[in-house]
Amino acid sequence: MSNEQDINQRLLQQSSTFNSQVIDDIQSKAELGRYRMRGYGTLRQRTWATFDDLTFIPSTLTRIPLEGYRERCKTKTILGSRYAKKPIELEIPIMITGMSWGALSFNAKVALAKGAAKVGSSNTTGDGGMLPAERENSKVLIYEVLPSRYGINVHDLLSADGIELTIGQGAKPGTGGLLLGSKVRESIAGQRDLPIGVDQRSPARHPDFLGPDDMRIKIEELREATDWKVPIFVKMGASRVFDDVRLAAKAGADVIVVDGMEGGTAASPEIMQEHTGTPTLAAVCEARAALEDIGLYGDVQLIIAGGIRNGVDAAKAIALGADAIYIGTTALIGLNCNKPIYTEDYHKLGTEPYHCHHCHTGGCPVGITTQDPELMKRLDIAEGAERISNLLLAMTYEIQMLARACGKANIHNLDPDDMRALSLEASMICGVPLVGTNKVFSDGPGWKSKIGK
């Protein structure tokens, strides 16, 4: 009966409840005795409203476009103008998000730093402290202060151009970081003051504050430590975004980073990546509404992160209210993540190029999320840096192209009325009219300036 010809195609029907992925999940857990862990972020079919549910409506007769290859379209981005004596000035609005040395290889961290510096952008340290080579190769470096405080060092903090107080991340809000023992090698263990080879589970809460009232004092501590020179960011995973952003702004943040549900990670329980958080599109809308609600929109800058793939996603986020964009997974893909090279090593991990989410194993075939010196050699720092600078520029050109087409001489002048919704849900979430109706369905996120009304 095992003959292929004997299979009755009409009876080959898979349960939609217990489909092959569900069966695999159940059987994996029956084998492991714990929840599943992996990297990369959500793999689910995106059935919720995303940036793809919006379209730009460029100039025709009601607006005048700018010449695509002639007229200037500014991209300079200022962050931290609320309280910092030295706000961060970037040439472009695309920044590299915090990813730890530990999760990433040394070569990846330095390539990201060099690539971002070349085009006047920034990079961010991560859960594990600052690498000297990262500081040396960065133009603008943001220092993360995380719940774990691994590698915390006042001298590194004082050398940074901005401080990011991290409350959580979009891939797994409400939980701490993970670094499995295969990646906790001697150098990483030394940097983090951990025993070699432990499955490192970072705390989910900061050790010295709990709620927003305490955080206000914590932010003041960071300002006092840095003589009020550099901006203080507060980064959060997108959960109750409207309330959380208002609390962070009132606690004194210069810049708020909201990391949406599509955000990536090097290791996390799979259920956190798949079933927690607010999608990035909704997050940016709620975040802007929150700042408007307390009269701080424009005074407190907003950085949006979480599954931003290209300049189009970035432009839409900027039009909805973001001042700048963080990329993480996209930057790693730019460094060759999931590229069909070294295919045999993907197979060793039980996967294929384009399907790999095995960052947690430490066996990254392209040398990015590994601490194996031989694998790391596959990522040449100079080549990687070039790819990152190219990617950042290409994304910026995409944003400029859309902005010029919409008649904007500054990408930060993009606004929600430059777009229309392609789905009812996007119209409801973003407060922009549904195509073909010129109507906004529901009140959107509660913006003060209603669009299309």
Residues binding other proteins (CB under 8 A): 32-35, 148-150, 152-155, 157-158, 181, 192-195, 197-199, 203, 207-209, 214, 217-218, 220-221, 224-228
CB-wise, 175 or 280, nearer to other proteins? Answer: 175
124, β-bridge pairs: 98, 142
Instruction: Read off φ and ψ for residue 54, nearest 5 degrees.
Output: -120, 150
CB-wise, 214 or 299, nearer to other proteins? Answer: 214
CB-wise, 145 or 308, nearer to other proteins? Answer: 145
**Measured from the CB of residue 217, what is the shortest distance to other proteins in angstroms?**
5
CB-wise, 36 or 139, nearer to other proteins? Answer: 36
CB-wise, 136 or 199, nearer to other proteins? Answer: 199
- Please identify which residue in the block is written with the tokens 């007229």: 71
CB-wise, 129 or 306, nearer to other proteins? Answer: 129
297, β-bridge pairs: 300
77, β-bridge pairs: 90
Q: Are 71 and 409 in contact (CB under 8 A)?
A: yes
Dihedral sign from CA coordinates of 208, 287, 164, 367:
positive
CB-wise, 208 or 380, nearer to other proteins? Answer: 208
CB-wise, 151 or 277, nearer to other proteins? Answer: 151
**Measured from the CB of residue 264, what is the shortest distance to other proteins in angstroms?**
23
179, β-bridge pairs: 200
**Measured from the CB of residue 176, what is the shortest distance to other proteins in angstroms?**
10
Which residues, at least 6 apart from 43, have a Cβ–Cβ distance to it below 8 Å? 273, 274, 357
Write out the two tokens for 64: 């005048």
CB-wise, 64 or 210, nearer to other proteins? Answer: 210
Cα 344 to its chain centre, rounded Å, is: 30
CB-wise, 78 or 158, nearer to other proteins? Answer: 158
**Measured from the CB of residue 221, what is the shortest distance to other proteins in angstroms?**
4
